[in-house]
Structure 1
Amino acid sequence: MTDFSHIRAVIFDKDGTLFDFRASWSDATDSLLAQLSGGDPVLALTLAQAILYDPARGGFDPSSPLIAGTLDDALGLLGPHLPDMSRTRLAALMHQSAAEAQMIAPLPLAPLLDALRATGRELSVATNDSEAAAHLHLKRAGILDAFAHVLGFDSGYTPKPAPDMLLELADRAALAPAQVMMVGDSTHDLIAGRAAGMVTIGVLTGLADRDTLSPHADLVLPDIGHLRDCLGAG
């Protein structure tokens, strides 16, 4: 087992890492598409294809902007198919959909996060979702207080795969990037972590497979529960 004893802080992605991506977002995406299309099945399918979502199986293409992209990315793809809807209105509906989405964790999160914090490590979240939605999802899951900081794509830093959010979180923890671990389910997460000079851990609770993540990760785990062993958290 690789020695991670030098790690003093852990940054988590949200969707696909703390929460199972498909279990959390398929129903919310179906509801959003139905609302945006006004019940028109042809338009709903066109919108689904624009964001690389397959409603028949409730599955996303790994390159879908809903996985690792930002709200602006999704707006740019959906907007052209909704010429009668303003960008402001579309953004509001997407924000509402994200806020109402029911996050499904792959395992009990509170005991895991408590165990990691008990080792003296600081925990934070860096997500390409909005900061407000992230706070809401974490609070609803009962784990918001486990994190020292939560940053989203709209927190003032260039989103992943740029390293800016991660470097900001390292600065807030007064740590060198090499003392920080970035944990995520997408190549955006891991590329950002590598660019920041951090240890990168991939997890398989998103849509990317091991072969996709491995070139960018120091280690790929089935889920974040395995961090207990990696970080000596019991």
Structure 2
Amino acid sequence: MSPIAGILFDKDGTLLDFVATWGPATAAVLEALGDGNRSSIADMAASAGFLPESGGFAEDSPIIAGATDEFAPAWAARLGLEYDASFAARVNALYRAHSLRSLVGYADVGPMLSVLASKGIAIGLATNDSERTARAHLSAMGVEASFSFIAGYDSGYGSKPGPGMVLAFAEHLGVAPAAIALVGDSAHDMEAARTAGAAAIGIARTEAASLALGTLPDAVVADLGGLNEWLQRRCSVSAGAAL
């Protein structure tokens, strides 16, 4: 069993509270795109599985784990506009501005990143958000400098569930994918890890995440403290195998 050289984190639902951050942001983005037209706003919300009354999301909402290209084309269509790079950029810019206002990071992120650094484990990010927004979020949380690798859906490696981001992180570190663990809260994350040959670690901070992960992960942790415990066990097993 290969020792872990790098941890590749998902962002939303893993490092920050997805509903608390993206619920208010989505409401604001749709309001801006719809320019006050209640019918258009309702249509866009329905197409993306956003629930305006609660500020939450349907289980199959493409916003939860998908890239902008997976939900924004339907918004453009409902507005009678062409979905092109300009529209995608506008959606990303609106999301970046509004999500920074509602950003809620998890309290265990900073301490865990320090633990990983002390162990000599490299840290990366793989998100289906845009790279620019991802960097803005990490900066707002005060942890961007801890990441040696940051990839969004638009960074040139493809989006999850494809393995491109995982393989790129492994290449960045000069290690085999088996030395990488991808930590995330969605089936997309687990599929990306497995396809690349990395360890698939599910983080189930919420009941919804637990249900979405199912039996796909190699291991499931409740928080980043649980990830540290998993790493310690993995290290013990790897050391034993080397004897």
Question: TM-score normalised to the size of structure 2?
Answer: 0.88
CA displacement at 1:51 relative to structure 2: 0.6
Partner SS for 1:231: helix
Q: 1:208 to 1:170 in 2, by over 3 A?
A: farther
8 Å contact from structure 1 (residues 9, 123) kept in 2: yes
8 Å contact from structure 2 (residues 73, 83) kept in 1: no
Output the CA distance in 2 between the equivalents of 1:63 and 1:178.
30
Structure 1 unaligned regions, length at least 5: none
Q: 1:131 to 1:195 in 2, by over 3 A?
A: same
Output the CA distance in 2 between the equivalents of 1:167 and 1:192.
9
Q: Which has the higher contact order (CA 8 A, sep 6+)?
A: 1
8 Å contact from structure 2 (residues 127, 153) kept in 1: yes
CA displacement at 1:223 relative to structure 2: 2.2
Tell me the equivalent position of 2:142.
Answer: 142
Tell me the equivalent position of 2:228.
Answer: 228
Give the letter for the 1:81 counterpart.
R
Partner SS for 2:220: strand
Identify the match of residue 67 of structure 2 among 62, 67, 70: 70
Say which is worse superposed, 47-56 or 98-107, in terms of deviation: 98-107
Q: 1:21 to 1:207 in 2, by over 3 A?
A: farther
Give the letter for the 2:33 counterpart.
L
Residue 98 in structure 1 maps to residue 95 in structure 2: yes
Structure with the largest fraction of helix:
2
Partner SS for 2:161: coil
Matches within 5 A, 1:115-154: 115-154=115-154
Tell me the equivalent position of 1:163.
Answer: 163
CA displacement at 1:86 relative to structure 2: 6.6
**Aligned residue-pair number:** 230
Identity of paired residues, percent?
35
Tell me the equivalent position of 2:38.
Answer: 41
Question: TM-score normalised to the size of structure 1?
Answer: 0.91
RMSD over equivalenced CA pairs, Å? 2.0
Deviations along 1:17-74, whole A, 9 cap, x unmatched? 1111101100001111111122222221111001111111111123222111111112
